[in-house]
C-alpha cells in the first residue's frame, strides 16, 4: 500500500513563478516579532505544575467514552486512502527480534521487528509557519503533504471568529484566505493549497507530488468528505488563554487520535509546533530515545513542564470545563480564560499603537454622533434653523444673485432707475442729478478747474440735493409707466383690428356662398 502511495512519480514541477515581496514580508514579520517580545515582558507566564502526574501510555486502547469520536476521526483513512499516514519513500522490512539492535524503535509482530524507513529531502533550518484550521479541506491537503515530507511546522490556528491570527494573515497577505504559508528560511509567503504543495515538494522533497494530492477536484472532494465524521469540529473559536510559548505536539495527519487533539488546539487557537512523525519518520526514533517510548500524540508544554501521552487526557488538560474542579485549574490552558489568572494573556493579538488609534477614532466618532443628535434635536424643537440636506458649498441666495446680476449689467440694460447699480460705491461718493452733472462738467471744461474728485470734496452738500434726485427718479418712473400704458393700448387696438378684419372676411365668405347657392337654385 505504501509503495502504491509514493512510487508513482509525476513529472518534476517547474519552480514557482511567483516573486514574493521578500522585503515587505520580512518587515511585517519583524514588526510582529517585536510586538510579541514587548508583550512577553508584560505577560505573566503560566505556573508550572508541581504535583501533576502524567497518565501512563496505553498503546492501541480507546477509552469507552471516546469510541464515537475515534470512529468519526478514522473516516479520513477510508476517504483519503491513507494519505498522510506514510512518509515519503516509505519502505518496510521484517527483522528477527534477536537480530534487531537494542535501543531502536520498531513495532513487534509475530517474533519479528517491523523496521520502517523513509527517503526524505533536505530539511529546513527553521520551522515553516502555516496559518490554517481543521475544518478546511484545502488546509487538510497541506497538512497531508507536511506529514508526507516529515516537516516540522509552526501552526497558527485560525478558526472562525478567532481574534488573534486571522487579523495577522490579513495584515501580512492582504486577505483572509487559508491556508497561508510563510517560509522564514526563504522569505516566501503564499496562499493556495496546490501552490503550497508544489513549493514544499520542490524545496523539501524530491519534486514529485504524491498521486493522491495531484488529482485536482477529486482530491478536494475527498478531503471534504474526510471531515464528515467530525463535521464542524476544529472550525469555531473557543475563548482561551494564549501561552507565552507555543506548545509542542508530536503527531501526524493520518492518526485519528492526533486529529482529536488538534481539533481542540485549533478551537482554542493555541499556536503549536507540530513534529510530524508519520510511519517511516526518523522522529519516531528521536522521541523513543527521549522518553523511552513512542506513541502519538505526545504533548510537551514548555510553559508548565507537562509532558504526556494519551489523546483523551491531553484534551482534558487543554479544556477548562473538564478540569475546573481540579486544584491545579489555574495552570491549565484552554478555557482558563474563566479562571482567575490575573493579567490578560492575549499578547499575540495585542498592538498598542493600533489599539490606541482605534480608541481615539472611536471617541471622535462618538463625539460627532452626539453633536449631530444635539443639532437635530434643536432643529426639531425650533431652537435652531434647519439645515439643507444637500451640501451648500458657496452657493448664493436669491438676493445676492440679483445684486450680482445688477452689478454685471450696464445702465442702459437696467434703465435710468437702476443706473447707480453699475457704479462702485466708495468713500466720498456724491450722487449728482443728471442735469446738474452735465452743467457742472461743462463748466469745468470751460474754466479748467480741478478734477472731479477734488471738486466734489470741496463743494458743500446742499440740503435740496436729495429732493432733486427723488424728483428725477419720479419723472423717470412716470415716463416708463406712460410708455407701458401706451404700448398696452396700441396692442389692444391691433387686436381689435385683427378681429374685425377676420370677422369681415368671414361675412364676405358667407355672403358669397349664399349668392352662389341662390344662383344655382334659380337655374
Indicate the domain borders of the chain.
71-87+124-327
Q: Which helix (H) or strand (E) holds 107?
A: strand 107-109
What is the residue-level pLDDT of the chain in tens, covering all 523 positions? 333 333 333 333 333 344 444 444 445 455 555 554 454 443 444 555 556 778 888 888 898 989 999 999 999 999 999 999 999 999 999 888 888 888 889 888 888 888 999 999 999 999 999 999 999 999 999 999 999 999 999 999 999 999 999 999 999 999 989 999 999 999 999 999 999 999 999 999 999 999 999 999 999 999 999 999 998 899 999 888 888 899 999 999 999 999 999 999 999 999 999 999 999 999 999 999 999 999 999 999 998 888 999 999 999 888 854 555 555 555 555 444 444 444 444 444 555 555 667 788 888 889 989 988 888 888 888 888 877 655 555 566 677 777 777 666 544 444 544 445 445 455 555 555 554 444 444 444 444 444 444 444 344 444 444 555 566 677 788 888 888 888 888 888 888 888 777 776 777 777 777 777 777 766 5
Q: Report how far residue 403's alpha carbon sits from residue 236's, in angstroms, rounded to the nearest whole number.
A: 69
**pLDDT of amino acid 223:** 94
- 318-329 burial code (b ≥16 CB/10 A, e <16): bbbebbeeeeee
3-state secondary structure of 153: strand
**pLDDT of amino acid 27:** 54
The CATH number that domain 71-87+124-327 falls under is 3.40.30.10
Q: Which three three-digit cell numbers place residue 12?
A: 518534476
- 244-257 burial code (b ≥16 CB/10 A, e <16): eebbbbbbbbbbbb
**pLDDT of amino acid 362:** 87
Q: Report how far residue 33's alpha carbon sits from residue 129's, in angstroms, rounded to the nearest whole number.
A: 13
Model confidence pLDDT, tens digit, residues 455-477 = 443 444 444 445 555 666 777 88
Q: Which three three-digit cell numbers place residue 104?
A: 531502536
Q: Which three three-digit cell numbers place residue 307?
A: 509532558
Whose cell is 503549536? That residue is: 272
Contact 215, 59 (CB under 8 A): no
Q: Report how far residue 432's alpha carbon sits from residue 453's, in angstroms, rounded to the nearest whole number.
A: 13
Q: Report how far residue 397's alpha carbon sits from residue 447's, in angstroms, rounded to the nearest whole number.
A: 49
Model-wide pTM > 0.85: no
Which own/partner contact pairs does 42-46 have at CB distance under 8 Å and 24+ positions apart? Answer: 42/343, 42/347, 43/244, 43/343, 43/345, 43/347, 44/341, 44/342, 44/343, 44/345, 45/244, 45/303, 46/241, 46/243, 46/244, 46/303, 46/304, 46/331, 46/333
**pLDDT of amino acid 48:** 55
User: Phi then psi for 129, rounded to 5 degrees?
Assistant: -105, 130
**pLDDT of amino acid 402:** 76
| Dihedral over alpha carbons 506, 509, 510, 514 (to 10 degrees) | 170
Q: In the Cβ-directed half-sphere of 201, how many Cα atoms lie within 13 Å?
A: 29
Which residues have a Cβ under 8 Å from the Cβ of 173 and sit 6 or more positions away? 180, 189, 191
**pLDDT of amino acid 101:** 86
Amino acid at each position: 500500500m505504501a509503495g502504491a502511495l509514493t512510487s508513482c512519480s509525476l513529472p518534476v514541477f517547474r519552480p514557482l513563478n511567483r516573486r514574493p515581496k521578500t522585503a515587505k514580508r520580512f518587515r511585517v514579520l519583524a514588526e510582529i516579532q517585536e510586538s510579541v517580545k514587548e508583550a512577553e515582558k508584560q505577560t505573566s507566564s503560566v505556573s508550572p505544575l508541581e504535583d501533576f502526574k502524567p497518565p501512563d501510555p496505553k498503546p492501541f486502547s480507546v477509552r469507552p467514552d471516546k469510541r464515537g469520536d475515534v470512529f468519526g476521526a478514522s473516516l479520513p483513512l477510508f476517504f483519503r486512502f491513507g494519505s498522510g499516514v506514510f512518509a515519503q519513500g516509505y519502505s518496510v522490512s521484517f527483522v528477527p527480534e534477536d537480530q534487531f539492535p537494542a535501543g531502536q524503535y520498531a513495532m513487534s509482530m509475530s517474533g519479528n521487528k517491523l523496521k520502517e524507513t523513509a527517503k526524505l529531502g533536505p530539511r529546513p533550518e527553521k520551522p515553516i509557519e502555516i496559518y490554517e484550521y481543521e475544518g478546511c479541506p484545502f488546509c487538510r491537503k497541506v497538512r497531508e503533504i507536511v506529514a508526507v515530507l516529515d516537516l516540522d511546522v509552526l501552526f497558527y490556528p485560525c478558526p472562525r471568529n478567532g481574534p488573534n491570527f486571522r487579523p495577522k494573515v490579513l495584515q501580512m497577505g492582504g486577505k483572509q484566505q487559508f491556508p497561508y504559508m510563510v517560509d522564514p528560511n526563504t522569505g516566501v509567503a503564499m496562499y493556495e493549497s496546490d501552490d503550497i504543495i508544489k513549493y514544499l515538494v520542490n524545496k523539501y522533497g524530491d519534486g514529485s507530488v504524491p498521486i493522491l494530492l495531484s488529482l485536482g477536484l477529486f482530491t478536494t472532494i475527498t478531503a471534504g468528505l474526510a471531515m464528515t465524521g467530525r463535521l464542524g469540529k476544529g472550525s469555531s473559536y473557543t475563548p482561551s488563554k494564549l501561552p507565552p510559548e507555543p506548545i509542542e505536539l508530536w503527531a501526524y495527519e493520518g492518526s485519528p487520535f492526533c486529529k482529536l487533539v488538534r481539533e481542540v488546539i485549533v478551537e482554542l487557537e493555541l499556536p503549536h509546533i507540530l513534529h510530524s512523525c508519520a510511519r517511516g519518520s526518523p522522529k519516531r526514533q528521536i522521541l523513543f530515545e527521549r522518553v523511552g517510548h513512542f506513541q502519538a500524540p505526545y504533548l510537551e508544554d514548555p510553559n508548565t513542564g507537562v509532558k504526556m501521552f494519551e489523546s483523551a487526557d491531553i484534551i482534558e488538560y487543554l479544556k477548562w470545563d473538564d478540569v475546573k474542579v481540579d486544584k491545579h485549574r489555574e495552570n491549565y490552558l484552554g478555557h482558563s480564560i474563566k479562571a482567575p489568572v490575573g493579567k490578560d494573556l492575549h499578547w499575540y493579538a495585542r498592538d498598542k499603537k493600533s489599539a490606541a488609534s482605534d480608541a481615539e477614532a472611536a471617541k471622535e466618532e462618538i463625539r460627532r454622533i452626539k453633536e449631530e443628535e444635539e443639532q437635530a434635536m434643536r432643529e426639531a424643537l425650533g431652537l435652531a434653523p434647519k439645515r439643507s440636506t444637500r451640501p451648500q458649498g458657496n452657493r448664493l441666495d436669491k438676493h445676492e444673485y440679483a445684486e450680482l446680476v445688477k452689478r454685471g449689467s450696464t445702465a442702459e440694460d437696467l434703465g435710468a432707475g437702476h443706473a447707480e447699480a453699475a457704479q462702485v460705491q466708495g468713500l466720498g461718493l456724491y450722487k449728482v442729478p443728471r442735469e446738474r452733472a452735465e452743467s457742472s462738467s461743462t463748466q469745468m471744461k470751460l474754466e479748467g478747474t480741478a478734477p472731479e474728485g477734488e471738486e466734489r470734496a470741496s463743494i458743500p452738500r446742499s440740503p435740496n440735493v436729495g429732493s432733486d434726485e427723488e424728483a428725477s427718479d419720479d419723472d423717470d418712473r412716470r415716463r416708463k409707466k406712460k410708455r407701458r400704458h401706451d404700448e398696452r393700448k396700441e396692442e389692444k387696438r391691433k387686436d381689435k383690428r385683427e378681429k374685425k378684419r377676420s370677422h369681415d372676411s368671414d361675412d364676405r365668405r358667407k355672403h358669397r356662398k349664399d349668392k352662389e347657392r341662390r344662383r344655382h337654385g334659380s337655374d
